[in-house]
């Protein structure tokens, strides 16, 4: 069962208060009662004393009737129950209650104790010990005060008297005072104390409830709501508590904790995102490396095969071309055969071009590197081929990084790569277009050259094949060796070629060459053997 903090605090404090207040009230009432009782006894004692003193002369003159009359009148005073005179033998000689006169005191303990303690008369007993509180026949609480009437000199010397001088006590004046008014006062006082206690208890309880609710419950509820929101992942709402106490400090600490949690969560999310991006980057790098490895292995074995064949074909082909040229230029040659020899020469030249391409592809030519700028090499290439007819309708846009660092490269080989790239670009735009050339540095790792054309683009299914030797989409015009040769050259430089293309929009080739190639080159695996 859930009991709220307020209920617990209120019940606990109220119980403690109740115990203390009841105890306090009890002590208070008891003290008040004792005080009133002492006052009543003292009053009764004084009354007895007054009666004895005022009736003294009447007694000396043996004017008993007059003395009794006086006592009778005092007996009518408010609060006085009755007054009686008792002689030594317990004989009631006078009482304001007529019925008692002439009777003897009963020999009960209370009756004896009135004047004697353990058989001895209470001659010099204190006021308190001479008093007795009891309930009379009507059930009313009364206090009785027994006062000894001493045998004074004037008494036993009086002519009318017969009291012998030896007799010390002549009798007892017993004044019985009603405690009714005292009881009324006490019950009035008790009621007031009870009302006051209840009022105080309620006031204190309500005060506790009010302050606990305001100072503890409300802030705790706010904190609780905030905690629930945090568990749901909402870190934006803060606890607003300006009080300068522990709750305020707790709220501040809580807000700080929320802020730390928020930043930690954001960091974690950021980290997660970065991690995802890094994993994706790494995965694509590994994929690229795998493709490169497969391609390199393919090129190495193909290079060996091609080297053998081209070596064998090159010599007879040179002979064919040479003798075809001789026949073609022989004046004895029938003119009708001139066209045929032209075909032989052109086809032989085509074969020679293929063989040259194959030789380029298979040759293990170690790059002769010296520091050069990619932008400058590109400018040299453009000067070489830019005026060809295929570039007539093409705009060349240059976007070179001015402070592109020099990198160690074999200028001739890189130029060959650029020629291949530019020719491919121009061939993809037979109707003209734009070639944009950009140079830049990438992650302080590579010097990059990007060639973007606005040509026909490369079909998705061909993207994997374009670097393969003899892959071409240019029917009889292409050998399909341009990119594979370029690939080999860039690989031998420790760099890489990346390609992006969209059909009918254009193609972008990025050539990346390391700024510091020492730890990237591995000619043993990258160059095809002869
Ligand atoms: N910029 C480009 N735009 C569109 N397709 C291209 C581009 N560059 C290369 N290709 C595609 O890649 C193929 C292979 O190119 P590669 O340079 O290796 O051979 P080729 O150009 O066909 O022949 P060669 O280079 O011997 O004249 C091309 O046939 C073409 O389909
Ligand atoms: Mg080409």
Please write the tens of the pLDDT for every residue from 333-357: 888 888 899 999 988 888 888 787 7
The answer to whether the CB of 428 is under 6 A from ligand 1 is yes
What is the rounded average pLDDT of the residues 298-302?
73
Q: What pLDDT score was predicted for residue 252? A: 86
User: Which ligand is nearest the CA of 472, by number?
Assistant: 1
Please tell me whether residue 449 adopts helix, strand or coil conformation.
strand
Please tell me whether residue 161 adopts helix, strand or coil conformation.
coil
Q: Are the CB atoms for 453 and 511 separated by under 8 Å?
A: no
Give the tens place of pLDDT for each residue, 235-287.
887 777 777 788 788 888 888 888 888 899 889 989 998 999 999 999 988 88
Cα(320) to ligand 2 centroid in Å equals: 26
Q: How far is CA 16 from CA 19, 327, 473, in A?
A: 5, 132, 100
Q: Are the CB atoms for 172 and 95 separated by under 8 Å?
A: no
* The ligand 1 atom nearest the CA atom of 506: 3
Token pair for 127: 């006021």
More confident residue, 512 or 313: 512
Cα(362) to ligand 2 centroid in Å equals: 17
- Matching residue, tokens 């007895």: 48
pLDDT beyond 80 at 163: no
The answer to whether the CB of 466 is under 6 A from ligand 1 is yes
Region of poorest pLDDT, from 20-24, 60-64, 231-235, 400-404: 60-64
The answer to whether the CB of 486 is under 6 A from ligand 1 is no
Q: What pLDDT score was predicted for residue 444? A: 82
More confident residue, 128 or 140: 140
Provide the pairing of β-strand 141-150 with 169-178: antiparallel
Q: What pLDDT score was predicted for residue 522? A: 46
Cα(422) to ligand 2 centroid in Å equals: 9
Q: What pLDDT score was predicted for residue 160? A: 58
pLDDT beyond 80 at 127: no
pLDDT beyond 60 at 528: no
- pLDDT class of 141 with cuts at 50, 70, 90: confident
* The ligand 1 atom nearest the CA atom of 455: 3
Region of poorest pLDDT, from 91-100, 208-217, 295-304: 295-304
The answer to whether the CB of 506 is under 6 A from ligand 1 is no
Question: Nearest 5°: phi and psi at 235?
Answer: -105, 10
Compute the distance between CA of residue 432 and CA of residue 396 in angstroms, rounded to an integer.
Answer: 11
Compute the distance between CA of residue 196 and CA of residue 199 in angstroms, rounded to an integer.
Answer: 5
Q: What pLDDT score was predicted for residue 473? A: 92
pLDDT beyond 80 at 503: yes
Give the tens place of pLDDT for each residue, 392-450.
899 999 999 998 999 999 998 999 899 999 999 999 999 999 999 999 998 888 999 99
More confident residue, 121 or 23: 23
More confident residue, 393 or 307: 393
Give the tens place of pLDDT for each residue, 355-367.
877 777 776 667 7
Of all protein residues, the one whose alpha carbon is nearest to atom 25 of ligand 1 is 482
The answer to whether the CB of 59 is under 6 A from ligand 1 is no
111 Cβ contact partners less than 8 Å away, ≥ 6 residues apart: 90, 105
What is the rounded average pLDDT of the residues 203-223?
84
Q: Are the CB atoms for 5 and 220 separated by under 8 Å?
A: yes
> What domains, with CATH codes, occur in the chain?
5-186 (3.30.450.20), 367-530 (3.30.565.10)
| Range among 20-29, 304-313, 397-406 rated most confident | 397-406
Q: Share the mean pLDDT of the chain.
A: 83
Q: Which of 306, 480, 498, 502, when mutated, tests ligand 1's pocket best, judged by the most ligand atoms within 8 Å of its CB?
A: 480
Token pair for 54: 């005022």
Q: Are the CB atoms for 143 and 152 separated by under 8 Å?
A: no
Question: Nearest 5°: phi and psi at 519?
Answer: -95, 10
Please tell me whether residue 288 adopts helix, strand or coil conformation.
helix
Of all protein residues, the one whose alpha carbon is nearest to atom 28 of ligand 1 is 472
Q: Which of 474, 502, 506, when mutated, tests ligand 1's pocket best, judged by the most ligand atoms within 8 Å of its CB?
A: 474
- pLDDT class of 525 with cuts at 50, 70, 90: very low
- Alpha-helical regions (H) of 212-337: 218-231, 246-329
Q: What pLDDT score was predicted for residue 110? A: 58
What is the rounded average pLDDT of the residues 202-211?
86
Q: What pLDDT score was predicted for residue 161? A: 56
Quote the DSSP letter at residue 129: G
Q: What pLDDT score was predicted for residue 448? A: 95
CB atoms within 10 A of CB 179: 23
Cα(475) to ligand 2 centroid in Å equals: 12
Of all protein residues, the one whose alpha carbon is nearest to atom 8 of ligand 1 is 424
Q: What pLDDT score was predicted for residue 529? A: 29
Q: What pLDDT score was predicted for residue 414? A: 93
Distance of CA 213 to the CA centre of its chain: 24
What is the rounded average pLDDT of the residues 42-69?
83
């Amino acid at each position: 069962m859930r009991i709220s903090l307020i209920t617990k605090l209120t019940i606990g404090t109220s119980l403690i208060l109740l115990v203390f207040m009841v105890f306090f009230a009890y002590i208070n009432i008891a003290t008040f009662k004792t005080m009133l009782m002492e006052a009543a006894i003292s009053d009764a004692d004084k009354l007895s004393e007054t009666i004895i003193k005022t009736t003294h002369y009447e007694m000396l003159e043996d004017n008993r009737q007059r003395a009794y009359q006086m006592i009778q009148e005092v007996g009518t005073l408010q609060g006085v129950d009755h007054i009686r005179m008792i002689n030594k033998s317990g004989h009631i000689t006078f009482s304001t209650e007529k019925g008692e006169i002439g009777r003897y005191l009963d020999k009960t303990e209370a009756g004896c104790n009135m004047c004697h303690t353990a058989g001895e008369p209470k001659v010099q007993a204190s006021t308190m010990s001479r008093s007795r509180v009891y309930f009379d026949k009507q059930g009313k609480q009364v206090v009785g005060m027994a006062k000894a009437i001493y045998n004074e000199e004037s008494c036993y010397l009086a002519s009318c008297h017969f009291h012998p001088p030896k007799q010390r006590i002549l009798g007892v004046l017993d004044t019985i005072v009603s405690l009714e008014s005292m009881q009324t006062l006490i019950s009035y006082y008790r009621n007031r104390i009870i009302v006051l206690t209840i009022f105080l208890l309620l006031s204190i309880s309500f005060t506790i409830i009010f302050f606990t609710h305001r100072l503890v419950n409300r802030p705790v509820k706010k904190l609780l709501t905030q905690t629930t929101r945090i568990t749901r992942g909402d870190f934006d709402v803060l606890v607003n508590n300006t009080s300068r106490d522990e709750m305020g400090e707790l709220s501040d600490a809580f807000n700080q904790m929320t802020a730390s949690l928020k930043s930690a969560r954001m960091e974690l999310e950021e980290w997660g995102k970065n991690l995802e991006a890094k994993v994706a980057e790494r995965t694509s790098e590994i994929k690229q490396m795998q493709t490169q490895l497969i391609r390199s292995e393919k090129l190495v074995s193909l290079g060996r095969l091609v080297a053998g064949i081209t070596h064998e074909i090159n010599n007879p082909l040179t002979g064919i071309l040479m003798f075809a040229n001789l026949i073609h230029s022989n004046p004895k040659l029938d003119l009708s055969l001139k066209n045929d020899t032209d075909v032989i020469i052109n086809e032989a030249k085509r074969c020679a071009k293929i063989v040259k391409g194959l030789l380029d592809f298979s040759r293990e030519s170690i790059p002769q590197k010296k520091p050069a700028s990619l932008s400058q090499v590109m400018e040299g290439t453009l000067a070489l081929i830019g005026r060809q007819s295929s570039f007539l309708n093409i705009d060349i846009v240059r976007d070179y990084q001015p402070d592109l660092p020099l990198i160690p490269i074999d200028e001739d080989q890189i130029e060959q790569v650029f020629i291949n790239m530019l020719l491919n670009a121009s061939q993809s735009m037979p109707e003209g277009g734009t070639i944009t050339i950009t140079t830049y540095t990438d992650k302080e790792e590579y010097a990059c050259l990007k060639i973007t054309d606005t040509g026909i683009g490369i079909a998705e299914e061909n993207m994997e094949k374009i670097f393969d030797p003899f892959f071409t989409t240019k029917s009889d015009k292409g050998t399909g060796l341009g990119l594979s040769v370029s690939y080999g050259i860039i690989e031998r430089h420790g760099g890489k070629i990346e390609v992006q293309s969209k059909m009918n929009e254009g193609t972008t080739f990025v050539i990346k060459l390391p700024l510091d190639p020492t730890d990237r080159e591995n000619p043993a695996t990258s160059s095809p053997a002869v």
